[in-house]
């Protein structure tokens, strides 16, 4: 247990400057309990709560801030947010313009208003969206603005209801990368009491989403429009913007899952508001089956991710991020031109993108995980037209290049709809297109193994063991090469990860999650589809081999 007197001192200092009556009341209750019960006995649970809130702090990194709501520096609250805003302001040129947006989570509007007040008080110009907006709308606004120097979105994306977060964009509308994150973090550390910060007013209130809607609905990726879609915004903020974008682009209006249509920060119909999670799409799939729809499209709560499901012989199934990424890559490259085109994915995504790019005569690149790195790939002469990561994140472009320098679940939804409508016009489905790619490039089968832990030291230990004694073989395949990504393998920036290349075109990447207490393993096996071989049979064989690989990797981690 941390020193109680030191924790109490930090807590009392926090109380004296916290402008939020709710977190003040929460902290006062914890302090009273830690002081002792009626019979004078100290409450160990309250001491633990103090240690959890004041024994550490949320770290500001390339993902900004993200954490549980509550009092203290290790929680998301008004003090944490005001300190973050003041630290950001110290790193921006005086008089610059900052775009601020927020989602519909608990506290988001208040955190965005606090951010606007602190930034304005620091002499910056602020544009604050009037209501909750999708994250890609903010990213687009920053990039499209002539004088924006940064952007902020208050969101925790698809995290649980108890969380919130603080995402920072730079002037190009892309997420920050090192060393800028460290500079902002150091500036946050130097911030004094938040009740002594100068606060401003008079920021510009943004109500017009027209620039984003014009850009995204104008994507030139084919003219087919006849497709029937069931859509869910997953209790988030994507619904109105997506429906308007579809109408402007000439698509039939998707049918929205009524139980999930309106923003609700408690996400009452899903255990976890992430379309990748089991059960999250159940309501949408049920409605699609009842309506005989061609397609299900889902956004996560801040609408920067896009999930897709399709009907098949065995019923509806969700496509993986890699499957959607491969389909969209081919669709974008078919509808664009120019030798300067670039398509980018990450080291944990399928290697299929490289084969597709080569077939279309364009360059491809791999980046570290996250769109902050995808947007930094390539050189001055490259025109990025498509980027994706396997976690349902896509940035879609046309001959203008990508429209948003981050994940854009609404742009991706429009591109998927156009692709599905084009296939339908030709008497085909997205599953047919996946089989075509398997025959053309080989079947690229991917899967994940995620191990959640209560103690982060277990992850550190597992990574250390794998570095010290990498396996010689996995699932009967020899490990032909082993790369420690912490050493900056392949010209990439250093990151905590390991990559194993296996005999017979297979690969395993192991890395700790950047946002959750998980160790994540990304598996890929590539199998040829010979002659008239049945693709379904090859998929079944690949699934068996992936399961064997998953079992062997799990055994090597020794975390269960």
Tally the residues of the chain.
560
**d(C-alpha 249, C-alpha 277), whole Å:** 30
Q: Are 165 and 175 in contact (CB under 8 A)?
A: no
CB 412 within 8 A of CB 306: yes
Helix (H) or strand (E) holding 183: helix 180-189
Is 481 annotated in the active site? no
- Element (DSSP H or E) covering residue 138: helix 135-144
396: left (phi over 0), alpha (psi -120 to 50) or beta: beta
Cβ contact 298:307 at 8 Å: yes
Angle made by CA atoms 367, 309, 326, in degrees to the nearest 5: 30
CB burial of residue 202 (10 Å; 0-12, 13-18, 19+): exposed
User: Dihedral, CA atoms, 419, 423, 425, 427, nearest 10 degrees?
Assistant: -170
The full 3-state SS of 96-122, as one line of letters, equals: CEEEEEECCCCCHHHHHHHHHHHHHHC
Strand-by-strand arrangement of the 506-512 sheet: 443-452, 518-527, 506-512, 498-502, 477-484, 473-474
Among positive and negative, which fits the CA dihedral 347, 349, 351, 356?
negative
The active-site residue, picked from 5, 16, 108, 157, is 157
Q: Are 523 and 546 in contact (CB under 8 A)?
A: yes
Residue 78 CA to residue 93 CA, distance in Å, equals 24
Instruction: Please give the structure tokens belonging to residue 482.
Output: 């082993």
Q: Which residue has the tokens 């913007």?
A: 241
| Backbone φ, ψ for residue 68 (5° rounding) | -75, 145
Q: How far is Cα of residue 476 from the mean position of the Cα atoms in its chain?
A: 34
Taking phi over 0 as left and psi of -120 to 50 as alpha, with beta for the rest, 278 belongs to: beta
Q: Give the list of residues 6+ apart from residue 261 with CB closer than 8 angstroms, or none.
A: 232, 233, 239
Q: Is 452 helix (H, G, I), strand (E, B) or coil?
A: strand
Question: What does the alpha-carbon distance between residue 74 and residue 48 come to, in Å, rounded to a whole number?
Answer: 13
Q: How many CB atoms lie within 10 A of CB 68?
A: 17
| Alpha helices for 393-479 (secondary structure H) | 409-425, 430-441, 456-468
Nearest CA to 122 among 153, 155, 154, 84? 84
Residue located via tokens 């008004």: 78
CA–CA separation, 80 vs 95, rounded Å? 24
The residues assigned a catalytic role are 157
């Amino acid at each position: 247990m941390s020193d109680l007197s030191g924790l109490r001192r930090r807590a009392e200092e926090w109380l004296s400057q916290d402008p939020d009556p709710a977190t003040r009341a929460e902290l006062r209750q914890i302090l009273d309990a830690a002081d002792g019960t009626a019979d004078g006995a100290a409450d160990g649970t309250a001491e633990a709560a103090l240690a959890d809130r004041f024994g550490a702090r949320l770290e500001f990194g390339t993902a900004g801030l993200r954490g549980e709501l509550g009092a203290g520096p290790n929680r998301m609250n008004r003090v944490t947010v005001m300190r973050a805003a003041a630290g950001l302001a110290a790193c921006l040129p005086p008089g610059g313009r900052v775009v601020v947006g927020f989602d519909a989570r608990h506290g988001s509007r208040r955190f965005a208003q606090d951010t606007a007040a602190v930034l304005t008080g620091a002499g910056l110009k602020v544009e604050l969206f009037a209501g909750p907006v999708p994250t890609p709308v903010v990213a687009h606004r920053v990039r499209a603005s002539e004088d924006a120097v940064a952007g902020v979105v208050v969101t925790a994306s698809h995290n649980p209801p108890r969380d919130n977060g603080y995402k920072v964009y730079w002037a190009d509308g892309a997420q920050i990368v090192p060393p800028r994150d460290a500079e902002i973090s150091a500036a946050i550390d130097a911030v004094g009491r938040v009740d002594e910060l100068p606060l401003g007013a008079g920021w510009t209130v943004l109500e017009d989403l027209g620039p984003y809607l014009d850009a995204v609905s104008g994507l030139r990726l084919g003219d087919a429009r006849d497709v029937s879609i069931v859509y869910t915004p997953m209790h988030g903020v994507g619904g109105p913007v997506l429906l308007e974008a579809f109408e402007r682009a000439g698509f039939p209006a998707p049918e929205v899952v009524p139980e999930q249509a309106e923003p609700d920060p408690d996400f009452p119909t899903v255990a976890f508001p992430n379309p990748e999670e089991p059960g999250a799409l159940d309501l949408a799939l049920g409605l699609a089956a009842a309506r005989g729809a061609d397609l299900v499209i889902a956004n996560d709560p801040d609408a920067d991710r896009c999930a897709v499901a399709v009907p098949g012989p065995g019923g509806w199934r969700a496509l993986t991020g890699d499957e959607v990424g491969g389909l969209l890559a081919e669709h974008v490259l078919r509808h664009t031109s120019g030798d300067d085109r670039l398509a980018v994915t990450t080291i944990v995504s399928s290697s299929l993108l490289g084969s597709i790019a080569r077939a279309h005569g364009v360059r491809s690149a791999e980046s570290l995980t996250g769109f902050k790195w995808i947007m930094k790939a390539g050189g001055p002469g490259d025109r990025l037209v498509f980027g994706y990561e396997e976690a349902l994140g896509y940035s879609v472009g046309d001959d203008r290049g990508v429209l948003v320098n981050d994940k854009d679940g609404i742009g991706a939804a429009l591109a998927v709809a156009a692709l599905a409508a084009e296939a339908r016009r030709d008497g085909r489905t997205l599953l047919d297109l996946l089989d075509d790619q398997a025959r053309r490039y080989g079947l690229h089968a991917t899967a994940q193994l995620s191990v959640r832990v209560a103690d982060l030291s277990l992850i550190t230990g597992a990574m250390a063991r794998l570095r010290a004694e990498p396996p010689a073989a996995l699932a009967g395949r020899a490990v032909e090469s082993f790369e420690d990504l912490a050493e900056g393998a392949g010209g990439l920036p250093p990151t905590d990860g390991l990559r194993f290349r296996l005999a017979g075109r297979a690969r395993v990447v192991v890395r700790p999650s950047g946002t959750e207490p998980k160790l994540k393993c990304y598996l890929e096996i590539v199998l040829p589809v010979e002659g008239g071989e049945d693709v379904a049979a090859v998929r079944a064989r690949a699934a068996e081999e992936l399961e064997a690989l998953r079992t062997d990797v799990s055994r090597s981690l020794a975390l269960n």
